[in-house]
Amino acid sequence: MQDLDQSTKAIVDLSQQLTALNGQLTRMMDAIEVVKKQQDEISQDISKIKEAVYNPDEGLYARLRNLEQWKATTTRVQWIVISTIVALAAKAIIELIMPGAG
């Protein structure tokens, strides 16, 4: 009889341990689902960032390329304007110093 009580007690203890383990597994599965959802959101965010950076028409690199082209053009125009002003000033000074030489 005592062996039967010990066996029953062992079975009850084992059942309680299995129930606790099942609860822990359920919590772990819930946590894994949350991680999956967050990973999907991060993946979508990264895709949006890549599109914003590498989009050939409106991305960051396209904007930088346009800005560099504008800067190069503006620099050329500035040099032409400055050179013209310096040349006209030099001509005016030469004409003041030596009338009829220009």
Long-range CB contacts (within 8 A, 24+) of 20-24? none
Number of structural domains found in the chain: 2
**Cα(41)–Cα(24) distance, rounded to whole angstroms?**
26
Whether the full predicted model's pTM is greater than 0.85, yes or no, is no
Question: Does 8 share its domain with 47?
Answer: yes
Question: Does 17 share its domain with 61?
Answer: no
pLDDT tens track for 48-100: 888 887 887 788 888 888 999 999 999 999 999 999 999 999 999 999 998 87
pLDDT tens track for 20-45: 888 888 999 999 999 999 999 999 99
Range of the domain at 40: 1-54
